[in-house]
Amino acid sequence: MISDSREPFDVLVVGGGPAGIAAAVRAAETGARVGIVDENFAPGGQIWRSRPSEQEHTKEASKWRTRLNASGVTVLCGKRVFHQPQPGVLLAEGLDDLRELSYRTLILATGARERFLPFPGWTLPNVTGAGGLQAMVKSGLPIRGKRVVVAGTGPLLLAVAAYLRKQGAEIPLICEQASWSRLTRFGRFLMQHPQKIAQGLLLKKGLRGIPFEANSWPVAAHGETHLEAVTISHGGQCGAIKCDYLACGFHLVPNTELAVLLGCRTAGGYVQVNEFQQTTMESIFCAGEPTGIGGVELALTEGQIAGLAAVDRNSEARTLFRAREKHRRFARMLDETFCLRPELKSLASPQTLVCRCEDVPYSRLQEHTSWRAAKLHTRCGMGPCQGRICGPATQFLFKWSPDSVRPPVFPARVENLAALPVPEQPIAEVTGGLQ
Amino acid sequence: MGKAAYDVVIVGAGIVGAACADAFAERGMRVVVVDRDVVGSGATAAGMGHIVVMDDSDAQFALTHYSQRLWQELRPDLPDDVEYEQAGTIWVAADEEEMAEVERKRDYYAKRGVGAEILDADQLKQAEPNLRAGLVGGLLVPEDGVLYPPCAARFLMNRAQQRGAKLKLGAAVTQISEGRVRLSDGQEVAGEIVVNAAGSNAAELTPGIEIKKRKGHLVITDRYPGFLRHQLVELGYLKSAHSVAQDSVAFNVQPRRTGQILIGSSRQYGAEHKEVDQIMLTNMLRRAQEYMPELGSMSAVRVWTGFRAATPDKLPLIGPCPGHTSVFLATGHEGLGITTSLGTARILLSQIMGSKPEIPVAPYLPSRTVKEYAHA
Amino acid sequence: MPDEVVVTVNGSQVAVPAGATVAVAMMMAGKPCRTSVTGEPRGPLCGMGICFECRAMVNGVPHSRSCQILCESGMDVKTND
């Protein structure tokens, strides 16, 4: 095991997306010793993920990247935090190593993941998340000339469609499950924000000519060994579209597992923080999507507040409060606009798998009255994804509340679970037989 | 038939409570099972699910052997999700002293009709290629098995319900008295007889019985089919001072039908919180890697803890509860609850019915401990 | 740095853009990353390392999350059964 420092980090940031980068930069610029740990190949998280061949960034992303590079932050990529064996120490696993990371103050910027809902055929290869397919293309997947149906809900669909189209994909349709009235209200809201208008116009340009339907969702994906077509419901009518990929995600859910493991309280599924982004654990802050899905501007603002507060620059942090409040209004608007309609609960047939790790079909889950009972008796949620895919789905389908979180928060190698970053304890007594 | 709503109220829908409900309902008794959580959610959910014969004492052997036969009889009725596999057990000897124990065990089992085969170092390597080199041999007990306990408990509970038993879940029992139990919402459930099958919490309901919590840790890996074929247990305890009151770990791994490897085991005294203890986990996994080095690079998907119900003499409490006239105990099964659940139900039933039990019940009677109280 | 990297997927050679992940290589080869517990072919879903559908056998190591592994010349990749 590699210990990354003789000295603990003053501030350790978990997650190298916009919130994490902003937090680390602001803290480091005050002279603190700061580290970022992220499991991807390079910082940027999901929204600022770069292609291997090109460096495509928005101006904002480039600005922050430059600042990060100049800030002296220690960036540890390709390492995934899975456990806190003792207070002030995190363990992170790489492909072939283990890191012990000590800190005085922690900032959790663990981002969000897509919500997946089951429908017949959703387990076919080439049915992917919306952000998921974008990430794959950025990881080298050729998409030129391929037909991609984009479906689900959320502003991510538009961003993904525009991006894929720019890479040469053909987009027969974007299916958004929200209603036109909600979308129109959202559009009007965006018009009040200059930044959003500019983004919106760019997006509109990128989406020119791509059919967009509201009140629309996938009903079934078809194919033998991989996706060949998808049936879409729109206004009560169904139609099949031949396609190579179905990029389908139903908005985002926050990655709160590490926060919960460390004892932070949550409310409504999000990490509770005070005005300085401090959680209910004194030395732990949280910024970005885990405190509320709100997009990149909110993440950057919250990240900066957390970074400054973590090094006791509270008055500087305060100067960002107003911007945060503005961005939080956007977050609330997102919640309202893209909430899931009840028809989506009926997409799964009895045989449709809900837990993909353990292949548990809808019919087997129906008999249970709680997540806990379902988990125990069907093993739904006991697979390697630890309920990250099926959990949000069953929450929506059955109103089940999730379990408590135990280490490891991600699967980790057995040898790494056995890491003990304290002076060697004598091996405990060995005792007899089966216990 | 009495005036109470039920003939038997069983507290606890774990494997023992479910087995009792099934056996009693089969006899036509009016049964209700009460549990504060879901079926099979206590130690039943946390344990390894092995079906083994054990010979720490003649009484332990009698009960485990009897129960194992009952499981084998039940096997054809078990649904697929119970995942019953007759994987067998190999007791692993690391040196000559442990090998002598292998011989003793074999003789013990042979005299009592339990199939057991001694393996030398080569045969051990053949049987389990992923054990480290340098082990001396082992004892293969082919009739031992493994299953998935929550589904086994559910099967027994479902069958009990088909036979007329009632089930009240989400109902915490706060008090057991003669002829009734009180729930946390104030409701009472009346029965001619009450059975305390509340596992590691049993002493809260019938104070004075000697049940202590023995915490254990387990780790389960992703699927590695073919890596492990038998349950493996070490005989290393012979080396230690074998104090009953010390925290300890032992090498104990089990293949699940899914191909996942279950890694144990640990035992702690006086630890009441359910959080993972890093020191125990570390020691347990290091011990396991000593016997099977390749475990180290496997992906561990989950870690959890559980509480066994332990008694001072390592035998369960099955029979009338001292100090009561109509309360019975079916608890204290420590690490053998799954195995002995079926036997427990039968011998408890025979005591209630006044019929002849299939094995002598004296060693398991709760009243055996009363003598100790007298001395105290 | 070369523009392309050649890896083997289920016995056949596949040329992928430099910097591509193993998951992408399997998608380009049209092969599933893994077979589910009931025998279904599966490919990457989330693209960000949390769904575990992209687990493949990479250079003999099972359960490798292929979306988090960069292709290297000569890598041997197989569908994880």
**In which band, very low, low, confident or very high, does the pLDDT at B157 lie, cut at 50, 70 and 90?**
very high
Q: Which residue of A has its CA nearest to C65?
A: A95
Residue of A40, A134, A356 lying closest to C53 (CB–CB): A356
- Which residues of chain A does B167 touch, with a Cβ-Cβ cutoff of 8 Å? none
pLDDT above 60: residue B242: no
- Which residues of chain B does C81 touch, with a Cβ-Cβ cutoff of 8 Å? 225
Distance of CA B238 to the CA centre of its chain: 22
Q: Which residue of B has its CA nearest to C65?
A: B299
pLDDT at residue A422, rounded to an integer: 56
Q: Rounded distance, CA A24 to CA A108, Å?
A: 11
Q: Rounded distance, CA C38 to CA B18, Å?
A: 30
pLDDT at residue A2, rounded to an integer: 66
Among all chains, which residue has been given the structure tokens 């929204």?
A47
Residue A204 backbone dihedrals phi, psi, to 5 degrees = -60, -40
- Which residues of chain A does C52 touch, with a Cβ-Cβ cutoff of 8 Å? 357, 383-385, 411
- pLDDT greater at residue B116 or residue B371: B116
pLDDT above 70: residue A423: no
pLDDT at residue A387, rounded to an integer: 96
- pLDDT greater at residue B266 or residue A201: B266
Determine, for residues A429 and B241 on separate chains, whether the beta-carbon distance falls below 8 Å: yes
Q: What is the pLDDT of residues B344-371, one digit of tens each?
A: 999 999 999 999 999 999 999 999 976 5
pLDDT at residue A7, rounded to an integer: 75
Residue of C23, C42, C52 lying closest to A136 (CB–CB): C23
- Which residues, 6+ apart, have CB-to-CB distance to B40 below 8 Å? A376, A377, B13, B14, B15, B18, B149, B150, B151, B152, B153, B154, B157
- Which residues, 6+ apart, have CB-to-CB distance to A187 below 8 Å? A200
In the predicted model, residues of chain C with pLDDT beneath 70 are 1
Tell which residue, A114, A86, A77, has the closest CA to residue A420.
A86
Neighbours of chain B (3+ CB pairs under 8 A): A, C
Residue of C37, C55, C62 lying closest to B224 (CB–CB): C62
Neighbours of chain A (3+ CB pairs under 8 A): B, C
Q: Which residue of B has its CA nearest to A371?
A: B38
pLDDT above 90: residue A233: yes
| Distance between start and end Cα atoms, chain C | 33
Find the mean pLDDT for residues A142-147. 97
Q: What is the three-class DSSP state of B231? A: strand
pLDDT at residue A58, rounded to an integer: 81
**In which band, very low, low, confident or very high, does the pLDDT at A158 lie, cut at 50, 70 and 90?**
very high
- Which residues of chain C does A357 touch, with a Cβ-Cβ cutoff of 8 Å? 37, 52
Alpha-carbon gap: B169 to the closest alpha carbon of chain A (Å): 11
Determine, for residues C44 and A132 on separate chains, whether the beta-carbon distance falls below 8 Å: yes
pLDDT above 60: residue B174: yes
Token pair for B293? 């080095």
pLDDT above 50: residue A415: yes
Average pLDDT, chain A: 92
Determine, for residues C63 and B223 on separate chains, whether the beta-carbon distance falls below 8 Å: yes
- Which residues of chain B does C61 touch, with a Cβ-Cβ cutoff of 8 Å? 297
Q: What is the pLDDT of residues A39-66, one digit of tens each?
A: 999 999 998 987 766 666 688 899 999 9
Q: What is the three-class DSSP state of C64? A: strand
Q: Rounded distance, CA A127 to CA A141, Å?
A: 14
- Which residues of chain A does B283 touch, with a Cβ-Cβ cutoff of 8 Å? 425, 427-428
Q: Please report, as a single letter, which amino acid is at residue B43.
A: A
pLDDT at residue A116, rounded to an integer: 98
| Distance between start and end Cα atoms, chain B | 40
Determine, for residues C63 and B258 on separate chains, whether the beta-carbon distance falls below 8 Å: no
Residue of A372, A406, A415 lying closest to B303 (CB–CB): A406
Alpha-carbon gap: C20 to the closest alpha carbon of chain A (Å): 5
Determine, for residues B222 and C37 on separate chains, whether the beta-carbon distance falls below 8 Å: no
pLDDT at residue A424, rounded to an integer: 46
pLDDT at residue B161, rounded to an integer: 98
pLDDT above 80: residue A433: no
Q: Give whole-number Cα distances, A168 to A10, A146, A147, A171, A245, in Å.
A: 45, 8, 10, 9, 14
Determine, for residues C45 and A132 on separate chains, whether the beta-carbon distance falls below 8 Å: yes
Q: Which residue of C has its CA nearest to B294?
A: C61
**In which band, very low, low, confident or very high, does the pLDDT at A384 lie, cut at 50, 70 and 90?**
very high
Burial class (CB in 10 A: 0-12, 13-18, 19+), A57: middle
Find the mean pLDDT for residues A83-107. 94
Q: Which of B298, B299, B301 to mutate to test the interface with C (most CBs of C within 10 A)?
A: B299
Q: What is the three-class DSSP state of B45? A: helix
Determine, for residues C37 and B224 on separate chains, whether the beta-carbon distance falls below 8 Å: no
Alpha-carbon gap: A311 to the closest alpha carbon of chain C (Å): 31
Q: Which of C22, C33, C46 to mutate to test the interface with A (most CBs of A within 10 A)?
A: C46
pLDDT at residue A411, rounded to an integer: 97
Token pair for A270? 């999000």
**In which band, very low, low, confident or very high, does the pLDDT at A203 lie, cut at 50, 70 and 90?**
confident
Determine, for residues C24 and A141 on separate chains, whether the beta-carbon distance falls below 8 Å: yes
Q: Rounded distance, CA C44 to CA C42, Å?
A: 7
Length of chain C: 81
pLDDT at residue A209, rounded to an integer: 86
Interior angle at CA B302, CA B300 and CA B306, nearest 5: 130
Q: Rounded distance, CA B323 to CA A52, Å?
A: 76
Tell which residue, B341, B347, B353, has the closest CA to residue B193.
B353
pLDDT above 50: residue A128: yes
Interface subset of B 68-127, CB within 8 angstroms of A: 81, 91
Q: What is the three-class DSSP state of B67? A: helix
Q: Rounded distance, CA B328 to CA B320, Å?
A: 4
Share of chain B above pLDDT 70, in %: 95
pLDDT above 60: residue B296: yes
Is the Cβ–Cβ distance between A54 and A14 less than 8 Å? no
- Which residues, 6+ apart, have CB-to-CB distance to A93 below 8 Å? A79, A80, A82, A99, A410, A412, A413, A416
Find the mean pLDDT for residues A303-329. 97
- Which residues of chain A does C20 touch, with a Cβ-Cβ cutoff of 8 Å? 52, 139-141
Q: What is the pLDDT of residues B314-324, one digit of tens each?
A: 999 999 999 99
**In which band, very low, low, confident or very high, does the pLDDT at B256 lie, cut at 50, 70 and 90?**
very high
Interface membership of C48 toward B (CB under 8 Å):
no
pLDDT at residue B241, rounded to an integer: 41
Interface subset of B 1-60, CB within 8 angstroms of A: 37-41, 45, 48, 50, 52, 54, 56
Find the mean pLDDT for residues A300-306. 98
pLDDT above 90: residue A190: no
**In which band, very low, low, confident or very high, does the pLDDT at B182 lie, cut at 50, 70 and 90?**
very high
Q: Give whole-number Cα distances, A362 to A219, A278, A314, A368, C52, in Å.
A: 15, 39, 50, 11, 20
pLDDT above 80: residue B146: yes
Determine, for residues B289 and A419 on separate chains, whether the beta-carbon distance falls below 8 Å: no
Among all chains, which residue has been given the structure tokens 């495509």?
A56
Alpha-carbon gap: B99 to the closest alpha carbon of chain A (Å): 14
Is the pTM for the entire model greater than 0.90? Answer: yes
Residue B230 backbone dihedrals phi, psi, to 5 degrees = -115, 160
Average pLDDT, chain B: 94
Query: How many residue contacts between A and B have a Cβ separation below 8 Å?
Result: 153
Residue of C27, C36, C50 lying closest to A359 (CB–CB): C36
